[in-house]
Amino acid sequence: MEFSNFILRPGQEEVLSNLRGGKSVFACLPTGYGKSLCYEIPAHLWKWKTIVIAPLKALLDSQYQLMVERGVMAVIIHSGLSANERKKSMQTLESGEWEILSISPELLEHWWKNKILEHLLRKHKVGLFVLDEVHCAVEWKKFRSSYLLIDGIIKEIIAQKIPVLGLSATLEAAAIMELKERWPINFSLVQIPLGRSNLYLHVKACENRNHKLLILLFLLKNIQSPKAAIIYCASREETELLASFLTSCGLPACVFHAGLPEIRKMERVQQFLNGYLPILCATTAFGMGVHYPFVEKVIHWGLPSGLTEYWQQAGRAGRSGDAAESILLWSRSDILSLRALKVEEQGKIRAILRYLLAKKCRKSLLTEYFCIQDEQENCGNCDVCLKRELLPGKLFSEPVWWEGGAQYAEKNFLNLLGFGDGSA
């Protein structure tokens, strides 16, 4: 596919204009919006050699395939490649016959410590340094130490007057502030409305686990290939239990989590992309870089760790443009899972609770959380705006513990978590 076939969207145009002027950019663009074009065009058309840092092998692989299809001279290096593939990639890199190099933060750190990056920057005129899914530098730093050590590398990149491009679909205000403190970048911030008008948002409070299971069966009853549903769970154990239950009910469910052997994970991703896995019970390990357009439902089985994680995962539904649904199922016992978050993450907890108990448009709450300017107050496609239930009869009824209303519930939940009476 030629680049001339693409019509640039407003956010993409602004990013490219800033980069052309030598400015660094942080861009928050919706899922499925074409963020990768913001660095593929400088690399392929402007001939800027570009280094891209991405957090997952699945993301590196999917980006590589898309770039090759578009005629970009791309190189990827990660631990999933064979020794011969890695050797060939390094030879291509050394020859200079490349436009985009994509690697992980860990490999970047290794190259930095062993002067390989220094050699690369000196030998080849690198024109752009990209951090794809830049929110991971904040969200994942506790278990991916390379995202902390990358700070020194960023400072060196800036010192060499190489523009830095950070891309994400979810950049909350606190993350932007932290990155500004860690990285002395005078950057332009590009944000556009969340979009995804085809994605219906629904949150359902459930009485207990059995109530959630009944609702889940109802939601999945018509899922057939090539349509698919992803069910996000908080733990590997939960994915196994849920997939086992669904299979026993005659539904074709399987699991995906970081504990699976590497070869099995690769097989599952390929089967999913080929439309052979209509129901996938997964942890956060699945989804980033897996672009399957026919995901009809994303279901959260319990609470995500924050609204950033929630919106990243919800956005994996409906990428074909067809109507799709993001449904969050929760019960009072799920609130206790928030205790795992640290005291300093109290803001995240309050944001999740306000989203669960919303009396106003859910997308407007997300817009406020990500500090995105949007004149549209109501999305017209969530359960609050439409006052519409997905569920029939008794499945629709509110749980007994809901008595007292959302405000009462929020105060109770905050007290339960030790955060006072819910006053802001």
Q: What's residue 84's pLDDT?
A: 93
Q: SS3 helix, strand, coil % of the chain, rounded to 5?
A: 45, 15, 40
CA 203 to chain centre: 19
Crossing angle, helix 146-159 and helix 105-113, to 10 degrees? 60
Query: Where would I find the H helices in 194-292?
Result: 209-220, 236-248, 262-273
* Pair 184, 153: CB distance under 8 Å: no
Q: What's residue 193's pLDDT?
A: 81
Compute the distance between CA of residue 278 and CA of residue 272 in angstroms, rounded to an integer: 7
What residues are paired with 28 via a beta bridge?
168, 191
* Pair 101, 46: CB distance under 8 Å: no
What residues contact residue 146 under an 8 Å CB cut-off, 6+ apart?
Answer: 104, 105, 106, 108, 109
Q: What's residue 217's pLDDT?
A: 93
Give me the tens of pLDDT residue by residue for the chain, a chain 424 residues long: 455 566 788 889 999 999 999 999 999 988 777 889 999 999 999 999 999 999 888 888 888 888 998 899 999 998 888 899 999 999 999 999 999 999 999 999 999 999 999 989 888 889 999 999 999 998 888 888 898 888 999 998 988 999 999 999 888 888 888 888 898 888 899 988 887 889 999 999 888 889 899 999 999 988 888 899 999 999 999 999 999 999 999 998 999 998 998 888 888 888 888 888 899 999 987 877 677 888 999 999 989 988 988 998 998 898 888 999 999 999 888 887 777 666 667 778 888 888 998 889 999 999 888 878 776 778 889 999 988 766 665 566 666 655 555 555 666 777 666 666 544 4
Compute the distance between CA of residue 261 and CA of residue 360 in angstroms, rounded to an integer: 44
Q: What's residue 1's pLDDT?
A: 44
Q: What's residue 405's pLDDT?
A: 57
What residues are paired with 168 via a beta bridge?
28
Q: Tokens 């006072």 sit at which residue?
A: 420
Using alpha carbons, list the distances in angstroms from residue 253 to 58, 225, 243.
Answer: 21, 12, 5
Q: What's residue 319's pLDDT?
A: 84
Report the relative pairing of strands 295-301 and 279-282 from DSSP bridges.
Answer: unpaired
What residues are paired with 191 via a beta bridge?
28
Report the relative pairing of strands 228-232 and 199-206 from DSSP bridges.
Answer: unpaired
Residue-by-residue DSSP string for 89-136: HHHHHHHT--SEEEE-HHHHHHHHHTTHHHHHHHHS-EEEEEEETTTH
Strand order in the sheet with 24-28: 74-76, 100-103, 49-53, 126-132, 164-168, 24-28, 187-191
DSSP 399: P
Residue-by-residue DSSP string for 126-191: EEEEEEETTTHHHHTTTT-THHHHHHHHHHHHHHTT--EEEEES---HHHHHHHHHHS---EEEEE
Domains of the chain: 3-191 (3.40.50.300), 199-416 (3.40.50.300)
For 29-66, letters b (16+ CB in 10 Å) and e give bbbbbebbbbbbbbbbeeebbbbbbbbbbbbbbbbbeb
pTM: 0.81
What residues contact residue 170 under an 8 Å CB cut-off, 6+ apart?
Answer: 28, 135, 307, 308, 311, 312, 370
Q: What's residue 317's pLDDT?
A: 92
